[in-house]
Structure 1
Amino acid sequence: MLQFVRLQQQTPDKRPASARREDFDEIYARFDPERAKQQASRCSQCGVPFCQVHCPLQNNIPDWLKLTAEGRMEEAYEVAAATNTFPEICGRVCPQDRLCEGNCVIEKGFESVTIGSVEKYIVDTAWENGWVKPPTPSRELPHSVGIIGAGPAGLAAAERLRVQGFQVHVYDRYDRVGGLMIYGIPNFKLEKEVVLRRWEQYAAGGIHFHMNTAVGQDVTLAELRERHDAIFIATGVYKARDVELPGADLAGVVPALDYLTASNRQNLGDTVPEYENGALNAAGREVVVIGGGDTAMDCVRTAIRQGAELVTCLYRRDKANMPGSMREVHNAEEEGVRFLWLSAPEAFLGAGSVTGVRAAKMHLGLPDATGRQQVAPIEGSHFVVPGSLVIKALGFDPEELPVMFNEPALAVTRWGTLKVNHRTMMTDLPGVFAGGDIVRGASLVVWGIRDGRDAAEQIAQYVLAKASLQQAAE
């Protein structure tokens, strides 16, 4: 170990931008075994591992780096899987530059260890060698848990509960498991087979999936509470934030998730009328994406691959203040995306269909209560960006679950997220727990996994304690 003084940081080979623009394949090649060992050996094995401290899952990163450097790959996988339900997904989509790698102690002067790439290599190796097994309990319990939502939080909870022997039923309104991992994140960041094989594995382990089942329509929350000993709500947040500007109702002004879902469904082989008729297809068009987060980066890079003539990203702050991953911004720049920093939309132009966006230049002012610099328009700085497809990537808010589920007693916060006791993760309804984005707001996959695992522990304690009291009463 400690080879950072001798070996430079090397990521897996990245495909040329000209080739990446032509397909939706992942952009990084896989580490070859020798290079993976070398890069893992750069870890300093520091006494206080800040990579682990800044990981939401507190993954034992130094341990599995050391095992990889020594070629002990099956042990490395066991350590990685001990704290993370989906290490192969986190290795692909986590913003390591903001989390583990960004806090690596050798970052200053020697560049960080390529933690994400090594993590991906470890688990891909485990899948190839058959080390990844279905969640098989040592004993079956009679208690059942219903999970609403098959995204990262719901699946993480399902896996943990199933390992303990609970009868687990997952309900989701979509036709495939994965939530935003399947329909929101493009293939070039997360190939769908990586998600779908987990679905097959969990089904083989005895987790029951009820797809195309919308709670509140096909089944009520009250019915699920009668059916199961506990409920975990992990629906995520899908309501697109909007911007009230003139021309917002013009054809060609679309929400980001609609656009990304159409692209992902088309890549999965589905028939997507909105893609086929061009409504959600960037081919041959000038595209404007409004926003600066990871969803905006997914949109601009998808539009490039669909064959857009020009892709422009409007963001009201500067590059240093973008909320998305800098790595994703750099990849987008390589692929030909044009960024207009300090630019905010004022109106959508056109008659019937959008033809462009009128925007104004902005300047940064003093920090607000959150610490971010405030922005204000510069007088007389208006300009027009041509575009026949304008994608609004402004983030997501919670849907009105008490209304959707026909359960007024389901309390929400002033932001619309579900209100829970943060120690037990239980809502105001006894036996109904919640976690993931529907509690914390739009966040990262890794935080969803953390919430799902934590919720599973609380649910197990609640159900077993309740069963023990019932037995004592009898």
Structure 2
Amino acid sequence: MASKMMQFVSIEQRMPDKRTVAERRDDFKEIYGQFSSERAGQQASRCEQCGVPFCQVHCPVHNNIPDWLKLTAEDRLEEAYELSSATNNLPEICGRICPQDRLCEGNCVIEQAGHGTVTIGSVEKYITDTAFERGWVKPVKPVRERSASVAVIGAGPAGLAAAEQLRKLGYAVDVYDRYDRAGGLLMYGIPGFKLEKDIVERRNEYFRQSGIRFHLNAGIGENGPSFAELRQRYDAVFIATGVYRARDIQVPGAALKGVVAALDFLTASNRMGMGDDVPSFVDGTLNAAGKHVVVIGGGDTAMDCVRTSIRQGAKSVKCLYRRDKANMPGSMREVKNAEEEGVEFVWLSAPEAFLGEGRVEAVRAHRMRLGAPDSTGRQMPEVVPGSNERHAADLVIKALGFDPEDLPAMFGEDALKVTRWGTLTIDWTTMMTSLPGVFAGGDIVRGASLVVWGVRDGRDAAAAIHRYLEGRVEAVDDVPMALAS
């Protein structure tokens, strides 16, 4: 066990042991193992203990990373868990699925100096997994129960984070979700090789033991209560529905059989892994086995699709992306994993048409080049005139991102204001929508984003709801001490 910090010169960076490609191509288990106590301490001891910790600055929930790394290096693991969980409601999940290469680890000082980043995500995962194993994770027990109650719409990261924070303050919390399991995309969108589902269920059980009541298969205004009923029944409502409407692509052949949406494909795969009856998988509609698969897109959802296709036994898997590798929005770590597993990336390529008679047989694509920057400074892709190429395809998966559903129409509430993109409009100071007592956060406000940003919004919304119910007017940053533990 390391006796002091700043060991990055003498101790090399090491991730947990990684399963071989041959092993991981055949199942949906997570590809990284668990740190041993000694290895976790060694890797944590590499931390520079910066005066200005850029890892913490670039973490959306501002985790106290240097502090819990030091505690881990000193084998004070229970204290490390208490500190880690003080700022994050899903630390073992974020440790697995956050794009650390773009957030904490990518901004690590020793990474910038060429020594290789501290493996922050893997240590975070180790700390909380160990805490669960050793019984340190205790259900929430509020100091006192309050008379006020809050309804949370959506059991994804933002909704779960808000629910736990509100329970800590003693509020009665009911979470409504249209699906049959809590977790949202953690359960149905993210594949098991990144996040095994028993990890999500373990956290859900903790929430239940903490007194959070889940109402599943309860879509608002569908097979659950109406939005108006929730507003009448509860003292406040938090909307955290996420964004689920798949963006489409307008090219010839888009309606052919075999052209499917990414979330449909991933949900079918995850449900099969959980033992559900999934006819569209069994009949081959959402099953890549024995097929030439082409995935359109360059984000993390596209990476989930290509790697899932490999595990389902596809003949070949290609990913077409209209920009180059350097401009890809997905995690570079995920790209590397996909390449190792046999995915072929076709950079600077965009679909022109899907070809086939009734069923897709190929994708005809343009070659692209990067032109002048747009208003964000990102180079715009342009078609190279006269260029095209053909890719065999029995299954085309569209992973082009997600847009919000029409919530005012779904909830029967025209006064619920939205932006021109369809996301909910909120006052970021109060997290409140255009309706008094109705708050919102997560992807339904930000657009499709990261799990950790959902956690941040859920925590901020819980603090804002508490102030609203207490009749306070302080700024959002003035979070009650009960919410920080």
Shift of 1:109: 1.6
2:6 match: 2
How many Å separate the matches in 2 of 1:241 and 1:381?
25
2:368 match: 362
1:30 match: 34
1:147 match: 152
Q: What are the Cα deviations for residues 17-76 of structure 1, in whole angstroms up to 9, with x where unaligned?
A: 111100000000111111110000000001000000000000000000000000000000
How many Å separate the matches in 2 of 1:189 and 1:359?
30
How many Å separate the matches in 2 of 1:219 and 1:410?
17
Aligned ranges 1:50-449 → 2 under 5 Å:
50-107=54-111, 108-217=113-222, 218-449=224-455
Shift of 1:90: 0.4
How many Å separate the matches in 2 of 1:150 and 1:109?
41
Matching of residue 44 in structure 1 with residue 71 in structure 2: no
How many Å separate the matches in 2 of 1:200 and 1:128?
14
- SS of structure 2 residue aligned to 1:203: helix
Count of residue pairs the alignment pairs up = 466
Shift of 1:138: 1.4
Shift of 1:219: 1.7
> Displaced runs of 4+ in structure 1, greater than 3 A?
none
Shift of 1:403: 0.4
Shift of 1:86: 0.5
1:470 match: none
Q: What are the Cα deviations for residues 80-128 of structure 1, in whole angstroms up to 9, with x where unaligned?
A: 0000001000000000000000000011221110000000000110010
How many Å separate the matches in 2 of 1:209 and 1:20?
34
How many Å separate the matches in 2 of 1:264 and 1:253?
19
Q: Choose the corresponding residue for 1:12, options 9, 12, 16.
A: 16
RMSD: 0.7
2:475 match: none
- SS of structure 1 residue aligned to 2:109: coil
Amino acid at match of 2:54: F
Shift of 1:142: 0.8
Q: What are the Cα deviations for residues 342-367 of structure 1, in whole angstroms up to 9, with x where unaligned?
A: 00001000011100110011011121
Q: What are the Cα deviations for residues 395-442 of structure 1, in whole angstroms up to 9, with x where unaligned?
A: 000000000001100000011000001100000100000000000100
How many Å separate the matches in 1 of 2:347 and 2:140?
47
- SS of structure 2 residue aligned to 1:83: coil
Shift of 1:169: 0.3
How many Å separate the matches in 2 of 1:76 and 1:353?
55
Amino acid at match of 2:43: Q
Shift of 1:202: 1.1
1:21 match: 25
- SS of structure 2 residue aligned to 1:394: coil
Unpaired runs of at least 5, structure 1: 467-474
Shift of 1:216: 2.0
Moved more, 377-386 or 411-420: 377-386
Q: What are the Cα deviations for residues 183-242 of structure 1, in whole angstroms up to 9, with x where unaligned?
A: 000000001011111111111111111100111223211100000000000000000011
Shift of 1:380: 1.6
How many Å separate the matches in 1 of 2:196 and 2:141?
26
- SS of structure 2 residue aligned to 1:75: helix
Amino acid at match of 2:20: P
How many Å separate the matches in 2 of 1:270 and 1:101?
37
Q: What are the Cα deviations for residues 371-402 of structure 1, in whole angstroms up to 9, with x where unaligned?
A: 11111111121111001100000000000000
How many Å separate the matches in 2 of 1:297 and 1:202?
30
1:469 match: none
Moved more, 208-217 or 79-88: 208-217
- SS of structure 2 residue aligned to 1:289: strand
How many Å separate the matches in 1 of 2:152 and 2:321?
37
Amino acid at match of 1:176: R
Amino acid at match of 1:256: A
How many Å separate the matches in 2 of 1:412 and 1:88?
33
Amino acid at match of 2:67: D
Amino acid at match of 1:384: R
How many Å separate the matches in 2 of 1:460 and 1:351?
58
- SS of structure 2 residue aligned to 1:155: helix
How many Å separate the matches in 2 of 1:347 and 1:133?
55
Q: Normalising by structure 2, what TM-score?
A: 0.95
How many Å separate the matches in 1 of 2:284 and 2:141?
46
Amino acid at match of 2:347: W
